[in-house]
Amino acid sequence: MNIKRFISLLILITSFLTIFGQEEHPNCISAKEFNLPFGDNIISFNEIYYQAEDKYTYWYKVNITSDCQFSYRVSSIGKDDDYELLMYKYEGEDFCNDRIVNDIMPISIRNKGVLSVKKGELYYLSIIHIQGQGCGHVIELDDGVKNIHIKAIQNDCVEEAIELVTKEENIVQVQVVDTVKPVPPLNLNKQVKGYLVNSVTQKNIEADILVLNIRGEKIQEVIKFNNSGGFELNNLKGDTIVLSITKFGYENLLDTIILKSDSLKLELNPIKVGDKLVMYQIYFHPNTYALKNESKNELKKLCQFMLENDKYIFEIQGHTNGNRSVKLTKQYENLGQEWNFKGSSKKLSKLRAEKIKSYLIENGVLENQLQTEGFGGDQMIVAKPKNMKQAMKNIRVEVKVIE
C-alpha cells in the first residue's frame, strides 16, 4: 500500500471512530469514582449492577490523593467471559470529550499490574467486554494497606453472576483457611528446579512463568527451558511463592505454592472437548483468503497446541461480519486465486478455514485431526455493530475441540 493510500485510509478510520466514539462509551461521563490510597474512606459500591446496553464498556475514575503504589487486577465473573482493562492518565477538564476529539491513548492495556502514582494525578479505567455473555467483572485494588474488591454485575444475568461470585468466595475462604496451617521451614539454597507438564498427556511443555510476591508484584520471569522441559527458579526468598503461568490453549494457572523441597512439578490443563479458542489475531487481506504475515505468530501458537494435544480432533470455524456478497478486488487481479475471490461470505469463511488447515498440516499437524466449517455471518457476536470495534469482533476464527 502506498503512503498516500495509507494516509487516506487512516483519515477515514479516524473519522469513523470520532463519529461513534461517544456512543461507544456512553457511561464514560458517569464513571464510578473513588480515591487512592483508600485511607479511612469506605467505598459504598462494592457491588454494582448495570444495564445490558452498558455491558461492552464500564468506566472507573480514580483520584490520587497522595503518593502511593497500588496493584490492580481485573477478572471475569463468568468463566466464558473475557474482559480487557485500558488505563488512561489524564490532565484536563473533560476526559470523555478529549478522549474522542484528541484521540487520547491508554497508557496500559493489561488486566493486572502495579503502578506508582503521585498526588493530584487522575486516572480513568475502562473495562471492555471482549467475548462471552458479559455477566460482569471483578476489579481488585490494593494500596498496600487495604484490599478492595468491586463486583460489577450485568442485570440480565444477575442470578448466574451471583451464583458464580458465591462459589468463588467459598473457594477463596477454603484457600485462606488452608494457608494458615503451620508449615515447617524449608532450608533452600535459594534455587528450585521444576518442570511443567500437560495434565492430560503428562508430557513436558513450555509456558510463560512469572514468580510473584504475595502482593502480585513480579519478582522474576522464567523465560528459558532446558532441553528436557525443565526450568529453574533462582534467588528465592522464603518458602512461599506465587506463580502465574500462561500458555495458549491452556487454562491460566495462578497459585500460591508452599515449597517443601528443591524440586517442583506443575500441571497445566488444556482446554477440553466442547471448548473453543477464539482467535482475533489471524488476519486475512480484505475480501480474500490470503493470510497476512501478522498472523504467523498466532498460527504458530495454535500449531504448537495441536501438536501437544494430538489425540484431539478440532473444527476450524471461519466467521465474517454479515452475509454480504463479496466482489473481486481490482488491486489484487494480478495475484493468485486466493486473492481473487467472488461469492458469498459463507463460502469465503469456509475457504479461510481451509487455508488455516493447510498451514497446520504443512507444519506437522495430522490431517485427520482437522475439520473445517464456514459460518459467514450466521453467528455474529454483535448482531448490529455500530462501530468498527464492534464489527471487528465478528471477524474471527474459532477453533473448537469436538472430540
Regarding whether 212 and 174 lie in a shared domain, the answer is no
* Alpha-carbon gap, residue 96 to 202, rounded angstroms: 51
DSSP state of 66: S
Nearest to 390 by CA among 132, 157, 130, 152: 130
Angstrom distance (rounded) from CA 168 to CA 153: 14
In this structure, the answer to whether residues 57 and 205 fall within a common structural domain is no
Least Cα distance to 128 among 115, 119, 137 occurs for 137
Are residues 362 and 300 part of one domain? yes
User: Is the pTM higher than 0.85?
Assistant: no
Lookup: cell for 301: 501458537
Residues 397, 291 within the same domain:
yes
CA distances from 373 to 286, 322, 349, 354, 356 (A): 19, 16, 8, 8, 11
Query: How many structural domains are present in the chain?
Result: 3
- Same domain membership, residue 173 and residue 249: no
One domain, residues 41 and 92: yes
- Indicate whether 314 and 280 sit together in one domain: yes
On whether the CB atoms of residues 136 and 153 are closer than 8 A, the answer is yes
Are 218 and 144 in the same domain?
Answer: no
The full 3-state SS of 189-247, as one line of letters, equals CCEEEEEEEECCCCCECCCEEEEECCCCCEEEEECCCCCCCEEEEECCCCCEEEEEEEC
Do residues 25 and 90 both lie within one domain?
A: yes
Q: Output helix, strand, coil percentages for the chain, rounded to the nearest 5.
A: 25, 35, 35
Range of the domain at 231: 191-268
Is the torsion defined by CA of 53, 56, 58, 59 positive or negative?
negative
Kind and range of the H or E run holding 88? strand 82-90
Please report which helix (H) or strand (E) contains residue 179, including its range.
Answer: helix 158-179
Same domain, 173 and 129: yes
CA-nearest of 296, 270, 283 to 359 is 296
- How many angstroms separate the CA atoms of 382 and 393, rounded? 7
Do 298 and 238 share a domain, yes or no? Answer: no
- Which CATH number covers residue 41? 2.60.40
Per-residue pLDDT of the chain (403 residues; tens, 9 = 90+): 444 434 433 433 343 343 333 334 445 777 888 888 887 765 655 667 666 555 567 888 999 999 989 899 998 877 778 888 888 999 988 888 887 788 788 888 888 888 899 999 999 998 887 777 777 888 888 888 888 888 877 765 544 554 454 444 443 332 323 333 343 444 444 677 888 899 999 998 988 888 876 666 777 666 566 666 688 777 776 677 788 888 999 998 888 777 777 788 889 999 999 999 998 889 898 889 999 999 999 999 999 999 999 999 999 999 998 888 888 888 888 898 999 999 999 999 999 999 999 999 999 999 999 999 999 999 998 888 877 778 888 889 999 999 8
Whether 170 and 67 have beta carbons less than 8 Å apart is answered as: no
CATH code for the domain of 197:
2.60.40.1120
Domain-terminating residue out of 229, 251, 268: 268
Do 259 and 283 fall into the same domain?
Answer: no
- pLDDT tens track for 251-300: 988 887 777 777 888 899 999 999 999 988 898 988 899 999 999 999 99
Structural contact between residues 247 and 208, judged by C-beta atoms closer than 8 angstroms: yes
